Structure 1
Amino acid sequence: MSGQISISDQAYPQRRSSQTTPQPKTVGEKSSALWVASRNRQDSNSFFRSTYPFGWVFHILLPRLPIRISSPPIHLWCFRRGRVCCTVTQDTMQGRKVVKADTVEVRVVSPIVTRGFRKLSDLKALEYTGVTVSHAEIRTGPGSIESEFEAAVSVPGTVAEVIRAQSEGVDAVIIDCMGDPGLRAAREVATIPVLGPCETGMHIAAMLGHRFSVLTVMRRLRPAFENTAAIAGLSTKLASVRSVDIPVLELELDLERTKALLVQEGVRAVEEDGAEALIFGCTGLMGCAASLREGLLARGIDVPVVDPIPTAVSIAAALVRSNLSQSKYTFPMPPQKELLGYDDIRLPRAIAAE
């Protein structure tokens, strides 16, 4: 499906009143809306050239952009006048809710049962204009995740919370653990974006540096991170996995010691392993990125430090605003069949892959 951009005459009186593009009909659509529709892109090129500084950039690039939209058209953002229109439409081909609203809600699901480990106030600090963050915890599962066994027993509760989040109208979900427990299963049962902070953080770190290292809590987690990197196609980008050897639930008992060990292992990762970017290997380290980077800079080491949860929140919001989610060819809805012993899990109606 091709795209066309047209602007209402009321919002931009300098434009021709004889344009043939159909005008918006609803009250919300009569605002200064930037529409993506179909057919004539030449008009959009002349608009960008005449209206914006550096409009020639859009004149060159716009015809080459593979824009795919749902119907009715998706409201976008006007570069000059800020947000111009918001709506919620339905993508009839996929059965997905297409969110174009004032606020995107990202839910962080903690796959552990230790209440209070993830403070809502810390997550609320990640909010910014147009993005809110909510929180949920699983009802049955491990106290923390430091093994494949604990990751496995956390999956049913995590999947249940993802299903619940979508049913409540949440726009995207982040699984609050660097083991990404239940990520692929959760993507099967949901049509909203579901992100794992490990997979997301690794891809961002690989973008920011030639090779990256993971700074995690326990040595025993090294194989799990290497497996995640392999599945994500990033094995050649993973320089090393280093640990501070402090259990998850003890990270804040002596926070200054934890930070000092992070700096120590970060320096070794760069100088000995060849890392050019660092990523935390536990979401319990959220908020320590600034102190780690400060400690590295004091030693003359200038590399990015990826804090996975804040990074994943921003990526999730960007996916929602871009009308992107996981492929239903890669993550098809599970078949409908009897499921015993999992009363919290109610699979939504199956959605056929295109």
Structure 2
Amino acid sequence: MVVKRAKVGLIRVLTTSDRDLLELHGKKVMSWFPELEVVSRCIPDQPEGIHDDTTEQMAVPKVINLAEEFESEGFDGILVSCAGDPGVSELKEVLSIPVVGAGRTTACIALSFDLPIGVLGITDEVPVGMKAVLRDRMIAWTKPSGVTSTLDLMTPAGRSNTLNAAEELKQKGVKVLALACTGMASIDVAPLIAKETGLIVVDPLKAAAAALWTVLEQRGGN
């Protein structure tokens, strides 16, 4: 029997014409969950993605437009590949299909370990949704030196500084590390951090994909 794969619309908040970069997160999701068929699209006019309150506010209506487009085309679910969860709350009110963002999902999984949590992102503040979930269970947070956008993570210095920042959080007593930027999934840094530091590391893209897969698998009855 041929089982129909669930169609997921993946929204990148980094504007790019590079097809490989655009589809990178979707291909990772399909490698983890072969039952999902992922189509990736990016919002317009944000070549540095989301890295502060201003760029997040700019992104929200664009994310909503893309999500509504996916739903109108018959997609089964939406994955917003951003730890700031832009537009996710608004979309839950207007779409009939499940919508998952990376921030709150990552925070919820980090909480499940019942250990001191640290957050590593690229913004000057922890994403609001993650902070609301973690509350006083988050004992420390930081951002890598010299990293101001997701593009910076893709350099050798960005990767090295991300590892250094994780080690700093470990020294502060962190046992579980919640990554607060899906760009860190682009460089596969989660397993490297886990290996180098011994920390439990929650990858935001994998966390969001797992949550959406769980819902869609139940609906499909596979």
TM class, shorter-chain normalised? 0.7 to 0.9
Cα RMSD for the two superposed structures: 2.3
Matching residue of 2:93:
188
Matching residue of 1:342:
none
| Residue 122 of structure 1, CA deviation | 4.6
| Residue 147 of structure 1, CA deviation | 1.0
Matched, 1:258 2:169: no
Contact kept, 8 Å, 2:117 with 2:175, in 1: the verdict is yes
Residue in structure 2 matching 1:175, options 72, 75, 80: 80
Aligned partner of 1:314: which letter?
Answer: A
| Residue 262 of structure 1, CA deviation | 2.3
Matched, 1:131 2:131: no
| Residue 240 of structure 1, CA deviation | 1.6
Residue in structure 1 matching 2:113, options 194, 198, 208: 208
| Residue 207 of structure 1, CA deviation | 0.8
* Greater relative contact order (Cα < 8 A, sep 6+): 2
Alignment partners' CA distance in 1, 2:171 and 2:155? 29
CA deviation map 1:29-72 (0-9, x unaligned): xxxxxxxxxxxxxxxxxxxxxxxxxxxxxxxxxxxxxxxxxxxx
| Residue 229 of structure 1, CA deviation | 3.3
Cα 1:138–1:229, aligned 2, differ >3 Å: closer, same or farther?
closer
Aligned to 1:143, what secondary structure does the other structure show? coil
With structure 1 as the length reference, what TM-score do the two structures score? 0.55
Larger Rg: 1
| Residue 322 of structure 1, CA deviation | 2.5
Matching residue of 2:8:
106
Structure with more of its chain in helix, by fraction: 2
CA deviation map 1:221-257 (0-9, x unaligned): x2x43x323433x202212211103122222132xx3
Residue in structure 1 matching 2:174, options 252, 271, 275: 275
Contact kept, 8 Å, 1:215 with 1:266, in 2: the verdict is yes
Aligned partner of 1:126: which letter?
Answer: V
- Aligned-residue sequence identity (percent) comes to 20
Residue in structure 2 matching 1:305, options 197, 201, 210: 201
Contact kept, 8 Å, 2:12 with 2:22, in 1: the verdict is no
With structure 2 as the length reference, what TM-score do the two structures score? 0.85
Alignment partners' CA distance in 2, 1:261 and 1:180? 25
Alignment partners' CA distance in 1, 2:47 and 2:190? 26
Cα 1:306–1:217, aligned 2, differ >3 Å: closer, same or farther?
same
Matching residue of 2:194:
293
Aligned to 1:126, what secondary structure does the other structure show? helix
Aligned partner of 1:133: which letter?
Answer: V
Contact kept, 8 Å, 1:259 with 1:292, in 2: the verdict is no
| Residue 121 of structure 1, CA deviation | 4.1
Aligned to 2:110, what secondary structure does the other structure show? helix
| Residue 313 of structure 1, CA deviation | 1.0
Alignment partners' CA distance in 1, 2:25 and 2:62? 23
Residue in structure 2 matching 1:146, options 45, 48, 51: 51
| Residue 167 of structure 1, CA deviation | 1.3
| Residue 270 of structure 1, CA deviation | 2.1
Contact kept, 8 Å, 2:118 with 2:141, in 1: the verdict is yes
Structure 1 residue runs without a partner (length 5+):
1-84, 87-100, 297-301, 325-354
